[in-house]
Structure 1
Amino acid sequence: MRLPDSFLDDLRSRLSLSQVVGRKVVWDMKKTNQAKGDWWAPCPFHQEKSASFHVVDSKGYYYCFGCQAKGNLFGFVQESENVGFMEAVEILAREAGVPMPARDPKAAEKADRASELAKVTEAATKWFRMQLKTGAAQEARAYLERRRLAPETLDRFEIGFAPSQPDALLTALLAKDIPFERIEAAGLALVEEDGRRRDRFINRIIFPIRDARDRVIGFGGRAMNPNAPAKYLNSPETELFDKGANLYNLRAARTAAGKGQPLVVAEGYMDVIALSQAGFEAAVAPLGTAVTERQLQLMWRVSPEPLIALDGDAAGQKAGLRVADLALPLVEAGQALRFAILPEGVDPDDLIRAEGPGAMRRVLDDAVPMLTLLWRRATEGRSFDSPERRAMLDRDLRALLGRISDASLRRHYGQEVARLRAELFGVPVTDALPAAPPPPPEDGRWAPPPEDGRWAPSPPDRPWQGNRRRPRRGAPLPAATTTRTSALVQGALDPDALLEQVALAGLVLHPALIEEFAERLEGTSWSRGDHGRLATALLRLPPGAAPDAARAHLIDAIGPDALDSLLAQPQIRISPVARPGATADDARPCIEGAFVSLDTRRGIDREAREALEDFADGGDEAMTWRLAQAARRRHDAARVSDGMKGEAVAEASNASYYDDLLATPPRKTRRKK
């Protein structure tokens, strides 16, 4: 089976070589230059300790200086997986989430047709360039001179001209024995309603568009007639030209970005050409449409943090926000956007011509993160002088954060949003948005005092903050309680508190697991204020902190006596998390089991309360059975938390109690009179 070149190109654009190779190697980050797409690692094809295996993302090849292994994306999968070419393509297609082309005999015919259309567009490019040198293009040349485009720039971008005659190109191509059907399929000619054939581009400056394989796939045309219906006209969608899957100047920009230049995304062709001429050669632009998800992925293949250059007018700001909204669910660590905002009413070409490349460099250096743009949209021009308006802002911000797919990144965005919100309202910084307090407990199990910190009343001049906040790293923690009064060292704790202690102690002793359990730490309603303060301190630890450094940080946060007493508790000393030589893998199921048991116990409480409510409306055997089962499960869960043996935790982590909750209760039976 012959695969279409367009399909292979699609795989290359969706999957970077470093992404695929990274599954088999551990990168040497001291030698690697991630921003340039230059990666080094020990070779996966022979035994070595040094990093001699080199991957260059911008060129799509790898080479080992030890064993001389070399190849491209498909070759690496063939060698590493010991498969043939077609199997390698299938593996990559599954990873990219794209279906394999249908195995039909027309595939080769389609590929041949695309090649024939590319020959037509190449012939048209040469003809357009020749027309720019004729007398008919005098006005076009004068326009390009006013835009200060040097002759070498015109040659580099292959800029041409389409004369005013409605069928000039068509006549020239037909004279080369190119069929009209092929010229039309390439997007260069069309048929009028009255049956006349004419060129698509008439009296326009022509910008050829090349793809990553250096084929001319389409054209953009700038009208010389100020009364033309469209100032810019692009080729229609063809078998060669997919507007949403390509970028203007992509091939040259990829090469320049590989040499360390920042990738700049401008609005149009002239902006890209002006940027390139001024030394910003890694410049691209969408093809006459709004930026698409496919184009974002192309940008991230070239650079982990493209700079979106926005015009300073309202339309430019709206365009930037559309890009930000599109990118928000896609961003992740090492894959982001920054926005360079130009002065009002100015585009990159205007700024460079008026003030020179230095002014453009300053704008790019001052580029802001994507969150800054989204925050401005949420707050500028709005008043927050009432609780209702503040609540509306909180709702909008929660919706914004909820669109971020990456959990770790969502947490960091939440911290920054909390900081910005605190600055806006003039209140102390917290690391989470306000959350609504829970309803009062129906069984009267807890009624925490204000100093506990769980549901403390808010000052009258600020919204309620709740217990799910996490002070940002570096901010002072509330004063630690003394050893005598600390709940961490009290012996008479209820089972919920014992389970919480096991989970917290496990993370104190194995801080490498904190990121994995961050959402649990953040979302748990702690039964004691000291537990909540310790959870906050754990979340503040720098990523990758060693156990000794983590311990020093926690001692500063909650005090040495409280921490030592926690680790000395009997249920901690017999727990797998504290065994000599215990690893993170040993501790993980125990910590998970503690959290699962907490969820189980609290779910049982809800089940019992609901059963009591139903019982009040009219009891029967089914309701009695539900109450008995809830009591039994609560007793079993308490036994698990009393001992917290490794086997019991493993059983709890399987959530067997939930199986009981889902069991079918006995059917009602009629009482005998």
Structure 2
Amino acid sequence: MSLPPGFLDEIRNRVPISRVIGKKVTWDLRKSNQARGDWWAPCPFHQEKSASFHCDDQKGFYYCFGCHAKGDAIGFLRDHDGMEFIESVKLLAAEAGLSMPEPDPRARERTDRRAQLLEVTEAACRWFRLQLQTGAAAEARDYLQRRGLDQPALDRFEIGFAPDQRTALTAALRDKGFDDARIVDAGMAARPDGGGAPYDRFRGRIVFPIRDGQGRCIGFGGRAMDPNARAKYLNSPETALFDKGRNLYHMGPARAAVSKGQRLVVAEGYMDVIALARAGFEGAVAPLGTAVTEDQLRLMWRISPEPIIALDGDAAGQRAAQRLIDLALPLTGPGQALRFAFLPQGQDPDDLIRAAGPGAMGAVLDQARPLIDLLWSRETAGQVFDSPERRAALDQRLAEAVARIPDEPTRRHYAEEIRRKQWDLFGAARRAQRPGRAAGQGPARRQGASMAPRAPISAIAPPMPEQGEDLLEGAALLICALRPAAMIPVESRLERLLPRDPDRAALLHDLLTRADSPAGRRGLETLRRDAHLGLTPTVIEQKADDAASLILADLLDRLEVARATHQELRRAETEMQGEADEGLTWRMSQIARSRHLTERRELDGVKDAGEDGDALSAQLSDWLSGQIWRKPPRR
């Protein structure tokens, strides 16, 4: 609606901005000067303990010197509380004792229509919840119980059920006085293409209400109970209330949790959000059945300056990360960053929390990586930079990506970080080629070996079986760091380990040369925090040096078999594009045999560790090497 000239200024003059913001923050009275209308507080937009958030009553503006959030009272209500512009004006007008100007007839009609549609969706929400208690919902209740949802959880998230009947909801809404046109416009029913009576959109589904930032039910998401359904998940259609690209599931509660210091975690689906929130990660949200949109990114940044994107560690998760890189780069800047956390292969947040508890999920979030790391991994993963042309092509790709960042200081810092990563990658090769390496300065290069810089196959989330290789390598390095004496019998094998991760490589160099470097310390700290390594510290701390040596040797055996098998498998897959011959058939049989031997070793544990080959060692062996060939079952 249009507002008369001077109306907003009159609101600002009557309502000091500190009165609006003071309801959301605690002023630092030692730093503030109340008489001058100069106020300071910890910023409500990001987590901090110091008072860097400044509010000036005379100018009517706020500014945070930490996250650079800024605006007036209307902007604060929009950014912090998620209000629409006209809603924030109405609230401030009421605070100022002013009457809102009469809207034009069309605007009033749109507002009235939205209110009418909200009545329909709220009535549908209550009806769905009642249906979950009926006999027709027995299978749905069993499914929810298997997923660990008790009655308090069902009530908290207002989960309901749509019976598998063509017009049950439509009839119930008609009984409440809603006409067919309003039911259809609210997205609760659809009309057949050939004409006729409307039919229910949600049938035979568990139903999740979707509420906006003000807590209003604007739509629904439904999970099919029939495994053969055409769509496992179905969302409300686009309506005057619901735009799936401009909303987030669980947005209101997440915003409240983030304002109290929690992290904003962006998961992939409804059940992931529910599992995260119940495990204590209440700042969880999810996009609504689509890839993250630009509007959703901006909405996330209005809640938190640095959301954590929690993605499954599979190929789909990697593809989602790649899409987000291109979407976020033109928008990133101070107060608008992203971090990425990848879960273990084949697991989503619900799987991980149920299998290993909230601590494992917290560890994954603690290891979330910035956008720059994913950009670097995308442009370098699995490549060999052995010519000026290849390095120049890398420079060009990175320069084009960084050039898309609109904020000049952010662009400059990206360029500096990329130069540092290039030095780490290319400098390692130059240092390895220096003649006359002194004894004790790390593993010697094999005669004739190529020292061309090679990036890791994937530094984002390695696919199977490389995920298992990564776990085995990490466990071996962690054992060496925890029990240095265990390295002695296998030192020559450790020299051939050649970790792809620079920090792990630095840690191995430090262990072999008894040195201490920042990169090595960083690599060790990363391994200690890695939830995927599971039982390693617990087992090793209970072992004598000779038992630890045997476990370490066992892990190295498995790692060497896995790497050799994977390398041969790649070669065989390449040759399969032509005609199979006896040599190819023989190599495939050897791959199968190696895999069989590895699986047998999983079953046998580490019995050759003598009297120390006990259950704990077997647990460690199964936890780590089992990751190579098995994926956790999905429910």
TM-score norm. by structure 1 comes to 0.53
| Corresponding residue for residue 271 of structure 1 | 272
1:241 matched to 2:242? The reply is: yes
Q: Deviations over 1:17-72 (max 9, x none)?
A: 98xx9xx998747x54652498743642499xxx9xx999999499xxxxxxxxx9
- Kindly state the Cα deviation for residue 327 of structure 1 after the two structures are TM-superposed: 1.1
| Corresponding residue for residue 167 of structure 1 | 167
CA distance in 1: counterparts of 2:106 and 2:406, whole angstroms: 40
CA distance in 2: counterparts of 1:27 and 1:404, whole angstroms: 33
| Corresponding residue for residue 142 of structure 2 | 142
The 8 Å contact of residues 427 and 462 in structure 1, kept in 2 or not, is answered as no
| Corresponding residue for residue 401 of structure 1 | 402
- Residues 1:40 and 1:419: Cα distance change in structure 2 (over 3 Å): closer
CA distance in 2: counterparts of 1:163 and 1:414, whole angstroms: 56
> Structure 2: which 5+ runs fail to align?
9-19, 26-35, 65-70, 80-86, 431-450, 454-635
1:531-570 correspondence runs (5 A): none
1:274-673 correspondence runs (5 A): 274-426=275-427
- Kindly state the Cα deviation for residue 132 of structure 1 after the two structures are TM-superposed: 0.4
* Matched AA of 1:390: R
- Residues 1:249 and 1:136: Cα distance change in structure 2 (over 3 Å): same
| Corresponding residue for residue 111 of structure 2 | 111
| Corresponding residue for residue 177 of structure 1 | 177
* Matched AA of 2:205: R
The 8 Å contact of residues 309 and 340 in structure 1, kept in 2 or not, is answered as yes
- Kindly state the Cα deviation for residue 418 of structure 1 after the two structures are TM-superposed: 0.6
Instruction: Give the secondary-structure state (helix, strand or coil) at the position aligned to 1:118.
Output: helix
| Corresponding residue for residue 220 of structure 2 | 219
Q: Deviations over 1:608-637 (max 9, x none)?
A: xxxxxxxxxxxxxxxxxxxxxxxxxxxxxx
| Corresponding residue for residue 192 of structure 1 | 192
Q: CA RMSD in A?
A: 3.8
Which stretches of structure 1, 4 residues or longer, exceed 6 Å deviation after superposition? 24-27, 54-59, 75-79, 82-87
Percent identical: 56
- Kindly state the Cα deviation for residue 421 of structure 1 after the two structures are TM-superposed: 1.1
- Kindly state the Cα deviation for residue 212 of structure 1 after the two structures are TM-superposed: 1.1
CA distance in 1: counterparts of 2:309 and 2:92, whole angstroms: 34
Q: Deviations over 1:171-201 (max 9, x none)?
A: 1111122101100001111122343431001
CA distance in 2: counterparts of 1:386 and 1:298, whole angstroms: 44
- Residues 1:380 and 1:56: Cα distance change in structure 2 (over 3 Å): farther
Q: Of the candidates 41, 57, 60, which is equivalent to residue 44 of structure 1?
A: 57
The 8 Å contact of residues 58 and 255 in structure 1, kept in 2 or not, is answered as no
CA distance in 1: counterparts of 2:97 and 2:423, whole angstroms: 56
Instruction: Give the secondary-structure state (helix, strand or coil) at the position aligned to 1:315.
Output: helix
* Matched AA of 2:183: I
The 8 Å contact of residues 311 and 343 in structure 1, kept in 2 or not, is answered as yes
The 8 Å contact of residues 90 and 100 in structure 2, kept in 1 or not, is answered as no
Q: Deviations over 1:549-571 (max 9, x none)?
A: xxxxxxxxxxxxxxxxxxxxxxx
CA distance in 2: counterparts of 1:293 and 1:84, whole angstroms: 36
- Residues 1:261 and 1:56: Cα distance change in structure 2 (over 3 Å): farther
Q: Number of paired residues? A: 386
Q: Deviations over 1:140-159 (max 9, x none)?
A: 01110111112111111100
* Matched AA of 1:272: V
* Matched AA of 2:120: V
- Kindly state the Cα deviation for residue 334 of structure 1 after the two structures are TM-superposed: 2.3
- Residues 1:273 and 1:373: Cα distance change in structure 2 (over 3 Å): same
CA distance in 1: counterparts of 2:184 and 2:408, whole angstroms: 49
**Bigger RCO of structures 1 and 2 (CA < 8 A, at least 6 apart):** 2
- Residues 1:409 and 1:103: Cα distance change in structure 2 (over 3 Å): same
The 8 Å contact of residues 312 and 348 in structure 2, kept in 1 or not, is answered as yes
Instruction: Give the secondary-structure state (helix, strand or coil) at the position aligned to 2:382.
Output: coil
Instruction: Give the secondary-structure state (helix, strand or coil) at the position aligned to 2:46.
Output: helix
Instruction: Give the secondary-structure state (helix, strand or coil) at the position aligned to 1:161.
Output: strand
- Residues 1:231 and 1:335: Cα distance change in structure 2 (over 3 Å): same
* Matched AA of 2:325: A
TM-score norm. by structure 2 comes to 0.56
Q: Deviations over 1:311-349 (max 9, x none)?
A: 111111111221222111111112211111111111111
The 8 Å contact of residues 33 and 39 in structure 1, kept in 2 or not, is answered as no
| Corresponding residue for residue 511 of structure 2 | none
Q: Deviations over 1:62-101 (max 9, x none)?
A: 9xxxxxxxxx96499989xx998989xxxxxxxxxxxxxx
Instruction: Give the secondary-structure state (helix, strand or coil) at the position aligned to 1:426.
Output: helix
- Kindly state the Cα deviation for residue 105 of structure 1 after the two structures are TM-superposed: 1.8
- Residues 1:57 and 1:318: Cα distance change in structure 2 (over 3 Å): farther
CA distance in 2: counterparts of 1:341 and 1:238, whole angstroms: 34
- Residues 1:141 and 1:217: Cα distance change in structure 2 (over 3 Å): same
Q: Which has the larger radius of gyration?
A: 1
The 8 Å contact of residues 122 and 217 in structure 2, kept in 1 or not, is answered as yes
- Residues 1:84 and 1:428: Cα distance change in structure 2 (over 3 Å): farther
CA distance in 2: counterparts of 1:186 and 1:57, whole angstroms: 29
